[in-house]
Amino acid sequence: MAATKQCKTCGVEKALEEYCKRQAGHDGHSIYCKQCVNTGRTKGFYAKRREAAKSVTHKVCKECGVNKVLTEYHKSPSGLCGRRERCAACTKKLYSAVCRRTRLKCYNLTLADYDRMLAQQGGRCAICGSTDPGGKLVHFAVDHDHVTGIARALLCNKCNMALGLMGDNPEQLESAARYLRVFQGEAT
């Protein structure tokens, strides 16, 4: 005997063949029969759902568990009330951590390796000694050899940009330092 299920729109019990395939469905099929989908009867279900969600003003964040105003959530067309499950702050933290781990993998580093390097540098930029990563950065940049890909040290945004703009060329950097020293001597 073929498996059956009840359509959420018309309420009729029908064979699974009468439903479109849907991977996200618990049984691999849509919750609406093909007939209801083809005649557009399912649209009323979503309209009622959206209408009910309009009265909602607060929502509990799935991550932090705090009840927050809807404006603290990013919009989402698939969300029950048109908002994501996690608040914007938790979403940012989550993606920040994921992106950071992914970026560190580019240099064959783990978070533990990064933390060890930072501790060895005393929590400071390896060039200027600043404790502030600078710019929009929350963490120090991983300076690396662009030929071998090997990580060298952790730098603040300014120092990392300076090395990059000078093409990681020691002679060019020394020439720039000599240039600045010449003009510093004139000023005094």
Whether 131 has a pLDDT exceeding 80, the answer reads yes
User: pLDDT digit string (tens) for 28-65?
Assistant: 888 888 888 777 666 666 666 666 666 778 889 888 99
Q: Is the pLDDT of residue 9 over 70?
A: yes
Per domain, the residue ranges of the chain are 1-52, 56-106, 122-187
Instruction: Share the mean pLDDT of the chain.
Output: 84
Which CATH architecture group holds 122-187?
A: 3-Layer(aba) Sandwich (3.40)
Q: What fold characterizes domain 1-52?
A: Wheat Germ Agglutinin (Isolectin 2); domain 1 (3.30.60)
3-state DSSP of 42-68: CHHHHHHHHHHHHCCCEEECCCCCCEE
Domains 1-52 and 122-187 share a fold: no
Instruction: List the Cα angle 37/41/46 in 5-degree steps.
Output: 95
What is the pTM for the complete model shown? 0.52
